[in-house]
Amino acid sequence: MEHIIVVQRLYAELVQLIVEFKNILLKNRKNIRSIAYKLGPVCSLSKSPSSYELKDNLEDILSAFEHFEIEAGANAKLVIRYPGIIAINCEATFNKVIRFVNRINEHKKLLHNYIADNGKPTYVSDGVGQSNYVKNDLLFNALPMKNHLMMTRHIDHEIDSHSCASFTWNVDFIHRKITDVEGLIAKLNNKMFEPKMDLTNKQWQQEIEKTIAKIESYANNNTELRTIDPKPVEPMVFFAGSKKRIKCKLPVIVKTDGEFKFRKLLAPPPKHPLVIKEGRARNYKRLSEHFYLYACT
């Protein structure tokens, strides 16, 4: 019970800090240009956000910083993101806001560490053997219906002054070299009696056997094998004259010395191709339409 009380206290303190942070921005709105987008949870099949909504009202944008709620039964990994910019054309206001940002981020870190140190996380395995976080029992008991990731993610800010920003999408893949071929084959054999919904047991078993035969053939020829999973489509923001790219999950706080411009707005999320065919000096041959397994030549 003691840990629950501590988490509830830390959460109440965090909420109060965010309220004060928002009030400073609202009181100085004449010196602020802002824009943000509300992106729904990433679809597990398409790897793109499930929804897209423009936010150009400061009150709506600031609500992103206190959106911690999740729906009953929702996967704790499925977060709502708010990429955006809050540009402040007043150094005194900017410095005051950043002091609060630092305090908020430190408090988020404290809350995150306390939950991690005193709670028991629950993980489940997905279809490709990856372990995914579902919930923490302490958080669940202390703050039901609050999303751990959304509540503890930090607010980004830029110390350097900027005059304009652009948005884009990052569409990429996660490459993992397969070093344990026998282990991979064992995992596939374990899936022999777990057919996909659109296949019969016999069709699925034949697909597994064909995939294993290809793996063995390429491995015997010393061909590199990889698991290449499509990475969820991510929004990014960048500034003129800077190589830095920020994969923002919340609006970024920026200082500006004049009128701030949004050179390129964030377009609706693109479709992820899901399958990779060519890379830098490499060709990729997918071994099965049901697995992201590739032979790399």
Q: pLDDT tens, 229-252?
A: 999 999 999 998 888 899 999 999
What residue spans of 119-263 are helical by DSSP H?
A: 137-142, 148-152, 181-190, 201-220
Phi, psi (deg, nearest 5) at residue 232: -55, 135
Per-residue tokens: 203: 């069709």
- Looking at residue 243, what is its pLDDT? 82
Q: How many whole angstroms from its chain centre is CA 105?
A: 18
- Looking at residue 72, what is its pLDDT? 63
What span, in angstroms and rounded, lies between the C-alpha atoms of 84 and 69? 20
Judge whether residue 49 has pLDDT over 90: yes
What residue spans of 162-264 are helical by DSSP H?
A: 181-190, 201-220
Length of the chain: 297
- Looking at residue 124, what is its pLDDT? 53
Task: With CA atoms as reference, report the closest residue to 267 among 37, 33, 34.
Answer: 37
Question: Which helix (H) or strand (E) is 128 found in, with range?
Answer: none
Tens digits of residue pLDDT in 96-140: 999 999 999 999 999 999 999 998 876 555 544 455 555 788 988
What span, in angstroms and rounded, lies between the C-alpha atoms of 91 and 86? 13
Q: How many whole angstroms from its chain centre is CA 258?
A: 32
Per-residue tokens: 165: 């920003």
**Who contacts 160 (Cβ-Cβ below 8 Å, separation ≥6)?**
242, 255
Judge whether residue 42 has pLDDT over 80: yes
Q: Say if CB 43 and CB 271 are below 8 A apart.
A: no
In 3-state terms, what secondary structure has residue 215? helix
Beta strand 84-88 with 32-39: parallel, antiparallel or unpaired? Answer: antiparallel
CA-derived radius of gyration, the chain: 23
**Who contacts 266 (Cβ-Cβ below 8 Å, separation ≥6)?**
37, 83, 167, 168, 169, 235
Sign of CA dihedral 122, 126, 132, 133: negative
Single-letter amino acid code for the residue at 273: P
Q: What are the Cα distances from residue 172, in Å, to 48, 132, 265, 270, 287? A: 12, 20, 20, 12, 20
- The matching CATH number, chosen from 3.20.20.10, 3.40.30.10, 3.50.14.10, 3.30.360.10, for 2-163+247-266 is 3.50.14.10
pTM of the full structure: 0.86
Q: What are the Cα distances from residue 235, in Å, to 53, 117, 153, 280? A: 13, 31, 16, 23
Angle between helix 201-220 and helix 181-190 axes, rounded to 10 deg: 180
Given pLDDT bands bounded at 50, 70 and 90, which one contains residue 284? very high
What span, in angstroms and rounded, lies between the C-alpha atoms of 86 and 280? 37
